């Protein structure tokens, strides 16, 4: 006996020394790895910040250019409105009047034409020609918005093709009013979309970068690289429109709504106009150089870690093998091979200990008995393999729903299961039962398994002094019997487990 004790003591001392050495090696590896990880994370953050700064600079440039041109165009529109309301101008000859009305239109790059429409939408003046085209634009959104809203101010329309040339434009418009304030028409300046194309194509953003100009309601005015099918589309569901109401400028990462690429987005509202520009850079492009650097460091760390792991594995391989074998045997002795839940023997052993603990602590303990309804018929109909799959699914649903560490699910026998819930009230037991039902149906749907009905019997009690655990089992069993007698695929609570319980459950178990 003494020799045996000495052997065990020597083994313990040896294991302790090996564990210390292994621990020291792991501390070194973890410390070195942590240092490398910190350096890499700092480099990654620096790459992100550089990309964000480049995008912010580009956004600012675009914002300033677009804002300036729209402001100049708006000044032209305001000048037209003001001069149209000037009686002296209206008395001038047509050519002189056109020169006064449209003298500022040449100051805006890519400005197509300025047109004046009467209250019916007919063109009355055109900055390009003295011969006014016979057109009616009452259906255009830039006309309708001023007709219904006297306070619309400067309106920026959806992208549209002109009816004369088929060219893509955006309409900038203001309302004309009679002296009494009633609607007198609209003055509209057309801004060619090629202006935005030429502005955006100068940017260098990498192969997966993009620039999107849209209204604040999500209507796309221009996207670069150019995609015709996106012009005029609605991207109001994009992440940008969650951030815009909170801040007029900002940055975030998201998967793009247009092509699904993960990007860093830097955005800004353009002046006080209902426009927003977003510059997107693919995070894959941003981190490309960093990833190459990180890979080199990772290889070094991996080689070091592999060396340490091989050494550590050599030192305790045999010990772990023996421990694993013992653990497997212990688990096999306690586990049902089909469902992977505890077996009846382990359930009974644990139940006894939990019952005694609850008795000493005067704490509630709950038991849920579960039965697959008409399992024999299920087997006969779908076959034994399907029956085994059903039992496995029930077991998985029980395991997934038993959230507390001391909850114990077991295969009680055949198609019957038990879930022991120490320190658990009837209310929580009912919640767990509902979770099992829900999870069972989810797993059946995911696995293509035809579900059976499940009957539940729930009992909860505070063990009385000197009471036997069989009292709880019998109560849950009677509740299960009544669940099956009252139609199956339902749950019954044992009397005393809840205030409004069913009549006394005194019948034997149903098959």
pLDDT digit string, tens, across residues 337-383 = 899 899 998 898 889 889 999 999 999 999 999 999 999 999 999 99
Locate all alpha helices (DSSP H) within 210-343, ordered by sequence: 240-243, 283-286, 288-334
**Do 358 and 365 touch, CB atoms closer than 8 A?**
yes
Return the CATH number of 344-493, one of 3.30.70.270, 3.40.47.10, 3.30.450.40, 3.30.750.24. Answer: 3.30.70.270
> Looking at the predicted structure, is the pLDDT value of residue 412 above 80?
yes
Percent of the chain with pLDDT over 70: 90
pLDDT at 12: 53
Between these two residues, 341 and 2, which has the higher pLDDT value?
A: 341
Which residues touch 196 (CB under 8 Å, ≥6 apart)?
Answer: 66, 213, 221, 222, 224
pLDDT at 422: 93
| Ranges in the chain annotated CATH 3.30.450.20 | 1-109+193-332
pLDDT at 5: 32
Instruction: Grade residue 497 by pLDDT with cuts at 50, 70 and 90.
Output: low
> Looking at the predicted structure, is the pLDDT value of residue 500 above 70?
no
Span 7-31, mean pLDDT?
Answer: 64
pLDDT at 330: 73
| Ranges in the chain annotated CATH 3.30.70.270 | 344-493
Full strand arrangement of the beta sheet holding 416-422: 408-413, 416-422, 365-372, 454-461, 491-493
pLDDT at 80: 86
> Looking at the predicted structure, is the pLDDT value of residue 317 above 90?
no
In the numeric block, which tokens belong to residue 93? Answer: 């000859």
**Do 463 and 365 touch, CB atoms closer than 8 A?**
yes
Instruction: Grade residue 105 by pLDDT with cuts at 50, 70 and 90.
Output: low
pLDDT at 430: 93
pLDDT at 2: 30
Instruction: Grade residue 24 by pLDDT with cuts at 50, 70 and 90.
Output: confident
**Do 433 and 491 touch, CB atoms closer than 8 A?**
yes
Which residues touch 80 (CB under 8 Å, ≥6 apart)?
Answer: 101, 102, 114, 116, 187
> Looking at the predicted structure, is the pLDDT value of residue 490 above 90?
yes
**Do 347 and 412 touch, CB atoms closer than 8 A?**
yes
pLDDT at 502: 38
In the numeric block, which tokens belong to residue 335? Answer: 């586990």
The CATH class, in words, for 1-109+193-332 is alpha beta
Which residues touch 95 (CB under 8 Å, ≥6 apart)?
Answer: 130
């Amino acid at each position: 006996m003494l020799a045996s004790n000495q052997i065990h003591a020597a083994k313990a001392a040896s294991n302790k020394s090996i564990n210390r050495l292994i621990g020291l090696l792991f501390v070194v590896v973890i410390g070195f790895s942590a240092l490398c990880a910190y350096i890499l994370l700092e480099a990654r953050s620096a790459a992100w910040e550089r990309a964000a700064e480049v995008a912010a600079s580009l956004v600012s440039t675009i914002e300033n250019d677009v804002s300036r041109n729209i402001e100049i165009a708006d000044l032209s529109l305001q000048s037209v409105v003001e001069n149209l309301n000037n009686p002296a101008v209206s008395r001038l000859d047509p050519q002189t009047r056109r020169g006064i009305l449209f003298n500022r239109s040449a100051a805006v790059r890519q400005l197509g034409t300025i047109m004046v429409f009467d209250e019916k939408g007919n063109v009355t003046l055109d900055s390009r020609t003295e011969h006014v085209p016979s057109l009616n634009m009452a259906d255009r959104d830039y006309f309708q918005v001023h007709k219904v809203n006297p306070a619309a101010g400067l309106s920026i329309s959806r992208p549209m093709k002109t009816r004369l040339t088929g060219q893509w434009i955006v309409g900038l418009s203001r309302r004309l009013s009679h002296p009494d304030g009633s609607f007198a028409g609209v003055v509209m300046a057309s801004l060619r979309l090629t202006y935005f194309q030429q502005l955006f194509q100068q940017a260098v953003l990498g192969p997966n970068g993009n620039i999107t100009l849209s209204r604040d309601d999500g209507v796309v005015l221009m996207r670069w690289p150019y995609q015709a099918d996106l012009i005029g589309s609605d991207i109001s569901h994009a992440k940008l429109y969650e951030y815009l109401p909170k801040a007029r400028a900002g940055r975030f990462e998201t998967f793009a709504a247009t092509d699904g690429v993960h990007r860093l987005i830097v955005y800004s509202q353009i002046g006080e106009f209902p426009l927003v520009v977003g510059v997107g850079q693919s995070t894959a492009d941003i981190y490309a150089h960093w990833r190459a650097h990180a890979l080199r460091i990772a290889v070094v760390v991996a080689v070091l870690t592999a060396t340490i792991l091989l050494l550590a594995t050599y030192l305790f391989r045999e010990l772990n093998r023996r421990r694993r074998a013992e653990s497997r045997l212990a688990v096999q002795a306690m586990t049902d091979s089909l469902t992977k839940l505890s077996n009846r023997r382990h359930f009974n052993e644990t139940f006894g200990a939990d019952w005694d603990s609850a008795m000493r602590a005067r704490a509630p303990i709950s038991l849920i008995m579960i039965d697959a309804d008409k399992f024999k018929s299920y087997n006969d109909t779908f076959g034994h393999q399907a029956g085994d799959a059903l039992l496995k699914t029930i077991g998985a649903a029980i395991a997934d729903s038993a959230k507390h560490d001391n909850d114990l699910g077991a295969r009680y026998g055949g198609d019957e299961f038990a879930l022991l819930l120490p320190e658990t009230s009837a209310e929580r037991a009912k919640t767990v039962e509902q979770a099992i039902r829900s999870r069972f149906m989810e797993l059946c749907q995911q696995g293509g398994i035809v579900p059976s009905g499940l009957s539940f019997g729930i009992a909860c009690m505070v063990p009385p002094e000197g009471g036997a655990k069989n009292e709880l089992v019998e109560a849950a069993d009677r509740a299960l019997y009544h669940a099956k007698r009252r139609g199956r695929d339902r749950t019954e609570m044992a009397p005393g487990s809840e205030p409004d319980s069913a009549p006394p459950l005194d019948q034997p178990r149903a098959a």
